[in-house]
Structure 1
Amino acid sequence: MFQRSRPSTSQSNSVSTSYGYYGYGDYNTTTTSRPGTRRNTGRPSTARPRTGASTIARVEAQNVVCAIAESRGISPTVGLAFVNLDTAEAVLCQICDSQTFVRTVHKLKVYGPSEILIVSTAASPRSKLFSIVEENLEDIGSKLTLLDRRYWAESTGYEYIQSLAFREDIEAIKISVTGNYYAVCCIAAALKYIDLGLGMVFSAHSLRMRYEPSEGSMMIDVSTIYSLELVQNLRDPKSRDCLFGLLNETLTPMGARLLRSNVLQPLTEAEVLNTRYAAVDDMTKKEELFFATRAALKNFLDADRILTALIVTPSKTTLQTTEQSINHVIMLKQFVNSVSPVFEALSGTASVMLNNIREICAPENVAPVQELIDRVINEDTTYARQPLELRNQRTYAVKSGVNGLLDVARTTYKEATEDAYQHSTELSREIQFIVFKEYNIRLDLKYDTARQFYMKIATTELEGKALPPIFTNVIRRKNNIECQTLELMKRNQKACGHMQ
């Protein structure tokens, strides 16, 4: 959806960090340089030595906004809220921590937020939590943003839970967060910042929200995670030679994310673990069940990201956001078609967990969405990865007769596309027989999203001769020359204009 920049991996004492101060009507970021800070020798350092690796190894770069708040006292209480903008998931936590905030730092490194929000009054004078978070910024790979105290309102947090959480989860979440004042304040700050600061709005009752108690899972010290190479090889950060790398035989991005989370935060609840063991045992004993399930999951797209993209509304609609929306609908179609094979593959399982999954994938649960898609989208429309193929799939995704203006625009687009191919063929002949009579120059018509149609010529085709002046926008890439002509640019513009 959108990318956040990561801090460089230079030494922390020479880094200048920008803090954003946001008001309801003012989103101009005030940047201040953070002077090099001398570490307090009176407390143990929570940051690991710099090893060249930017952070704990991740399955993928995710856009996670975290809000953090603390009580004051000998045994401080820390509230945290993580909102994953890629998977539409919000996690609330409240931890009774020590003076070194080791549990809080562990939580931050497990979730790896791209941005950490903290109340502005914690920066002047610096609270101990602020100093420790600041000290660990480079390891976490986060940007620190200061937020005015008025955003950290418990009542606002409950309003967001009421309006954004799944309807069936609202009461359970409210009961879970009762008495957890700081966690509720943090979800208020995180969602208000996403709304007003980032210009993103979640649709009503579309956010997968849960409270994660500190009990029920094991806390592994950050230094232990590194020394045992649980998720990253110490010598080669890109190597798969670590526990997560050896275990990761998952076929979907969702499975890889869940596995990583469980490696870093192993469950300790016997009932949940026994349910999982029973599912593994069933898969182990029934090979047909195992291989059928893997085959069904093989073509799965990233369902978390697809569904999130559909429920997050951009503050401003543009041609690009509209094209992305069509892409997401096509991806949703492919995802819906992938659910039925999972339902069929899990038939005959004796596991309670696998049976629950099978019930979720039942045809009657998928049918309403399938009918809405089939009503408008052509049956043979599939998601494509090549730019030109994806553009064509997007152009012809909607059935004929749904919108008359769209049908007319598509006809014109088809003509303009055919003109572009024809122009390339004619130009190839013109160069071959007129410009360079004694040489054969082969042109390959290519397409990318930024330039639309362009031509690619191998440098060996020219044999040291100058490129004819008819070509413009010339780019030389290794053994190829990429270029366009004025006529081709006009036809690109014509095709693009009719699809807007």
Structure 2
Amino acid sequence: MDRKMRRAVGTSSISIPAETSRRETTSSSLPKYKFHLGACSSSRTPASSRRSAKSCVIVSVVEGRGNARGEVGLASMDALCSELSLSQFIDTASYTRLRIQLQVLDPVEVIVPDTAMDKSKSMTAVVEIIENTFPSAELTFVARQHFSDMRGVQLVQQLSTDESSNITAEVLQKYYCMAAAAALIKYVEHIQNVLFAQSSLKITYEGLSKVCFIDVNTMHSLEIVGPPGHTRASSNRSLYSVLENCLTGGGVRMLRSNLLQPSADVSVINARCDAVDELLSNQPKLERLRAIISGAYEIQHLVTLCCYLEKEADSIRSTEQKLSQVLNLKDTLNLIGPLRKALDSSKSTILKACYESLNDARFEEVRKALNERLSSKATMVEKSSFGVRNRRCYAVRDGQNNMIDLARRAYEEMLADVEEKAKEETANLADAKLVYTAQRGFHYSIGIADPLIELRLPSMFIQVVRHRASISCTTRELIKYNDRIAVAVDEIMVNSNAVVVGLLSQIRASIGYLYSVVEVISTIDFFASLAMYAMKTPTVRPSFSEANALVIRRGRHPLLDIAIDDVIANDCYLSKESRIAIITGPNMVCFPPKIFSFIHSILIAFNFAQL
């Protein structure tokens, strides 16, 4: 795409309202990024004002000026989650580290100070790097005043939860890191129409130590991941697509992050290999773990509910979504018991640590709070529109709020009246039945065998719409019932919201445990995905000597295993003294395909070994 056109459709400048008080409510506009329960779309259209995605990572970038040019502060956050990641580093003139970090984060949007629009100021090169590296990401310019390190320190101290965060006094002194955090937090609150509660965010500083840095061009040459903005259909030939058997969004992100930044810590690598070995040697345990986490909703999105402060007036639609998410959180936490039992006999260090993280007294406290306020009958038995609405209406236990109980009684009486009225009005229509949709409410559907036959209905039937095999219609009496039912449902939602807000406030005290649950589920999903690949494909375990030499015996190219039946295994050796291979010969000028495949195989094998 032409660069001028790219800037026209992919960039924007936004003015965030001045902040007088964090308690001041935001506007009633809809959030820019939305999460649809049960069906998340991963399509990302840069110019779209409303998105539905499993991952909506927003990155804030700021660079030093003058003598500090080249020092970059980075903050990243998924707009649908409550985890903030920070980093600060001195980059090269070509911004290699920045490009690597952006590739790992895979953002849908990048925000930079509006001073970057001035070609005479600094950060012009950073903007060009962002545009060239991620042409599909939306680039947004935010007023420079919001990149305040002092405000960043205040927000980080105010919002971080001590148990799940690793922010130290040294990190708080990192000027550009704090400036990027201040702008990002304020921006996410603005576009998502939310306010974060005190001590609710998981804020971590990524020191970029003990990891391997892989250049962006090398990532693509080795086919570790597909190019930015790729579709799933066009990215099947990559190491990521071969290994990706994850069941949760957290597992997918962990796999991608570890592929693009493999560990350089031998103890960590060996511990991971032990975990995969244990799952491989105990297939029933692997299948049990995958069966359990497959029933878990995207818990990282559900935990975010506990991080939001109550606004003066939530819309009915917002309340409905909140009720559904709280019920899903309850269902997901009900899986902790079986998951803990499945991990009880684990021997590897990582799986034992997962068990210990789940074996926390706060689990019973959270579950007790949910069971006291929420009904055990509100389960997703029927996935129809009517079933979903009933689940929300009966989400709160009886006796929690008298107004809810009265509104439910009226709701049930009107449902009975609707059924009686439907029998009366359709007595002479044999194929007519009462149906419900979210758009029209209760109405009639009349089946027709021959679409060419004209069906004459009595005059009381109005709003007639002809479909291929049916006719839908309603009556004035049915419309009146729909209006009255809608009023009763709204009354239930408003009063249920008050109960849920109190429940979330109570759970917030144990949010550190919920973050541990998110981490455990993502970790198990990640290792189960690797174990699933190892079960289907001949694999070997890499070995490390005391001198940190990496040895791979009879290693295979993961991508060639898909395309070729008879793959020749190769031995690889890498040590501090023997880490460079020079291949010479008369034909090396043209790089014959076999030699190139061999080099490619060695490089990708080492990357895989350090996963």
Which category describes the TM-score, using the shorter chain as reference length? 0.7 to 0.9
In 2, the alpha carbon distance for the partners of 1:495 and 1:387 equals 15
Please say if residues 434 and 444 of structure 2, whose CA atoms lie closer than 8 Å, have aligned partners that are also in contact: yes
Residues 107 and 392 of structure 1: is their aligned pair in 2 closer, same or farther, counting only changes over 3 Å? same
Partner of 2:487: 497
Please say if residues 21 and 145 of structure 1, whose CA atoms lie closer than 8 Å, have aligned partners that are also in contact: no
Partner of 2:223: 229
| 2:444 counterpart of 1:455 | yes
User: Which of 86, 95, 103 does residue 101 from structure 1 map onto?
Assistant: 95
- How far did residue 136 of structure 1 move? 4.1
Equivalent residue pairs, number: 455
Partner of 2:389: 391
In 2, the alpha carbon distance for the partners of 1:357 and 1:79 equals 32
SS in 2 for 1:167: coil
What is the one-letter code of the residue matched to 2:392?
R
Note the alpha carbon deviations across 1:118-170, whole angstroms, 9 max, x for none: 11222213556345535644835332222222222222111112111112355
Residues 91 and 236 of structure 1: is their aligned pair in 2 closer, same or farther, counting only changes over 3 Å? closer
User: Which of 345, 352, 355 does residue 349 from structure 2 map onto?
Assistant: 352
| 2:149 counterpart of 1:149 | no
Report matched runs for 1:348-387 at 5 Å. Answer: 348-362=345-359, 364-383=361-380, 385-387=383-385
In 1, the alpha carbon distance for the partners of 2:466 and 2:255 equals 44
Q: TM-score, normalised by structure 1?
A: 0.81
Partner of 1:167: 162
Structure 1: gaps of 5 or more residues: 1-9, 29-51, 433-439
SS in 2 for 1:429: coil
In 2, the alpha carbon distance for the partners of 1:472 and 1:266 equals 64
Structure 2: gaps of 5 or more residues: 21-25, 28-42, 47-51, 491-611
| 2:492 counterpart of 1:488 | no
Partner of 1:182: 176
- How far did residue 23 of structure 1 move? 4.3
Report matched runs for 1:414-493 at 5 Å. Answer: 414-430=412-428, 432=429, 440-443=430-433, 445-448=435-438, 450-458=439-447, 460=449, 463-466=452-455, 468=457, 470-475=460-465, 479-493=469-483
In 2, the alpha carbon distance for the partners of 1:330 and 1:317 equals 18
| 2:56 counterpart of 1:66 | no
Partner of 1:90: 84
Greater mean deviation of Cα atoms: 277-286 or 127-136: 127-136
What is the one-letter code of the residue matched to 2:277?
D
- How far did residue 454 of structure 1 move? 3.4
Q: TM-score, normalised by structure 2?
A: 0.68
Q: Cα RMSD over matched residues?
A: 3.1
SS in 2 for 1:453: strand
Please say if residues 94 and 214 of structure 1, whose CA atoms lie closer than 8 Å, have aligned partners that are also in contact: no
| Relative contact order higher in (CA < 8 Å, ≥ 6 apart) | 2
Greater mean deviation of Cα atoms: 310-319 or 411-420: 310-319
Residues 190 and 74 of structure 1: is their aligned pair in 2 closer, same or farther, counting only changes over 3 Å? closer
What is the one-letter code of the residue matched to 1:111?
L
Residues 69 and 298 of structure 1: is their aligned pair in 2 closer, same or farther, counting only changes over 3 Å? same
In 2, the alpha carbon distance for the partners of 1:273 and 1:330 equals 38
Report matched runs for 1:233-244 at 5 Å. Answer: 237-238=232-233, 240-244=236-240
User: Which of 199, 218, 221 does residue 212 from structure 2 map onto?
Assistant: 218
User: Which of 253, 260, 263 does residue 257 from structure 1 map onto?
Assistant: 253
- How far did residue 408 of structure 1 move? 1.2
Partner of 2:271: 275
Q: Percent identity?
A: 25
User: Which of 333, 336, 340 does residue 337 from structure 2 map onto?
Assistant: 340
SS in 2 for 1:216: coil
User: Which of 282, 295, 300 does residue 304 from structure 1 map onto?
Assistant: 300
Partner of 1:118: 112
Partner of 1:14: 5
Greater mean deviation of Cα atoms: 84-93 or 270-279: 270-279
